Amino acid sequence: MGTLRGSSPFFVPGPPAPANQPYGKILDFLATRVVGQILDIGGGLGAYSLALRDRGFNVTLAELDPECLASAKRSGLPVLDMRQTHMEDLKGKFDTIILVEVLEHVENPEKFLKDAAACARKKLLMTVPMVDDFLILFNSGLTYNHIAVEDHLHHFTRNDIESMLKGIGGRNTISTGDHLFPQLILSLLYKKMWSNWKGKIALSSVRFFEKRGWLPELFPTRIFAESLLEH
Any idea where the domains of the chain sit in the sequence?
A: 24-179+220-228, 182-215
56 vs 120: CA distance, rounded Å: 20
Cα separations (Å) of 105 from 1, 51, 113, 186, 204?
13, 23, 12, 31, 43
What confidence tens digit (pLDDT) does each residue in 16-67 have? 777 788 999 999 999 999 999 999 999 999 999 999 999 999 999 999 999 9
Q: Average pLDDT for residues 86-98, to the nearest whole number?
A: 95
What confidence tens digit (pLDDT) does each residue in 110-159 have? 999 999 999 999 999 999 988 776 655 555 445 555 555 566 678 888 99
pTM: 0.79
**Mean pLDDT computed over every residue of the chain:** 82
CA atoms within 13 A on the CB side of 151: 9
Which residues, 6+ apart, have CB-to-CB distance to 5 below 8 Å?
11, 150, 152, 153
> What's the CATH superfamily of 24-179+220-228?
Vaccinia Virus protein VP39 (3.40.50.150)
> Strand pairing partners for 181?
218
Q: Could you tell me which residue, 129 or 10, shows the higher pLDDT?
A: 129
77 vs 59: CA distance, rounded Å: 7
Q: Average pLDDT for residues 82-108, to the nearest whole number?
A: 94
Share of the chain above pLDDT 90, in %: 55
Residue-level pLDDT at 129:
87
